[in-house]
Amino acid sequence: MSAKVNSKYVENYAKEFSKKVCEGYFPTKKYMTGQDIITLTPSVQVNFFIIKTLFEAWQLELEKLKSNPFFDYRDKTVHEALREFMNVLSRTIKIERTHFEPLLEQSVQDSILLAVDPLEFYKNEFGKLKGHEINQYLKENKKYIKWHTNLITNLIDKAGLSYTHEAYQEALSNNFLIQKEKLESFKILLNSMGQVVFLDFDQIAEVDFIKSKSEKKVEAIPALKEADASYFDSLEEIKDSEFEIRVDSGLKEEFEESLLQEEEQVLENIPTEKLFKTIRPDQGIDPSKVWVRFENEQYSIMKGSIKELSESIGLNQRFMFTKDLFDGNPDLLKHALKSIDECESFVEAIHLLNERYVGELGWNKDSDVVDEFLQLIFRKFDVRG
């Protein structure tokens, strides 16, 4: 059984969503800026897909520029000038509503497709590329993809994988068959978009009960170990890992560095009143402070004593957490515990809480029930991360 996107519903929803966002933004501002894009909607994935599209557009313009046969773009002076031009360009993103609204619509559609049917999403993405370009695409774009990231992590630079569309599609399908029971529900992923415009989950996807012929026993593709790599972390965590820039890196990395400088400024200066509910850093849970506090208290001996949160919470705690933290929705708690169990460190788990639940569900981070929930998470991890 698999879910397929109801294209007509998604198209209409994306138009309504984008119109609502733009009507809330453009009456007071003529241009959409790079800083505002980062926190424009409650959906991190939608925001990052907008940035992804801008980066792709910049790449196309750069290639057009470099295709001029009369100038040597390999010259060191020209290279440095292009780098400076790129930095300035990325800091001065200005988009009028006429051009921005269609871009936002596409980002919403892409986000929904990724959440509901990731195989179809990547099929569309791969279809824009030549086979030998797919590996580089995954390298460059993994930082913009926030959902179902485990499907592609072990495909990057994979030894023995021929660089063809067929090979990548087969490897991706194998990953999906192995991981599909552990993938985050699209209802959880898309829940934040409902804060803008109601999203009818009964309309968004059509369930296909026909078992695919390709569904056969497959062997897992071993994941490549990446030091402290986490793709559902906060923007600050992304700065330290996925967006790390080397001195001798190329123009693409410079462009991304400039965008991240904007992201850091935004995170430090997010206004208290936003068009949609978001969470400021000072409103979130600080993983470092919580870890130190628990280590200094009687809980330090209990680090790593819990293996699976989803199997270790008592009945009374389940009732309490469901009622006080997860809006009375036991499925929401279940998915949260499952997601935390898949985290690699305490810091990653707390970033996940901040991103998905603390602001959205209005948690009081100083309450006893939040503290008890954090104690359980602390007991799961041996390392802070």
Q: What is the pLDDT of residues 183-227, one digit of tens each?
A: 888 888 898 888 888 888 888 877 553 343 334 443 333 333 333
Letter for the amino acid at 27? P
DSSP character at residue 173: H
Tally of residues, the chain: 385
Q: What are phi and psi of 96, to 5 degrees?
A: -75, 160
The answer to whether 313 and 337 have CB atoms below 8 angstroms apart is: yes
Q: What is the pLDDT of residues 240-267, one digit of tens each?
A: 333 332 333 455 555 555 555 555 454 4
Q: What is the pLDDT of residues 111-151, one digit of tens each?
A: 999 999 998 998 888 888 887 888 888 888 888 888 988 88
The answer to whether 123 and 28 have CB atoms below 8 angstroms apart is: no
Q: Does pTM top 0.85 for this prediction? A: no
| Residue 20: predicted pLDDT | 92
Q: What is the percentage of the chain residues whose pLDDT exceeds 70? A: 74
The answer to whether 63 and 73 have CB atoms below 8 angstroms apart is: no
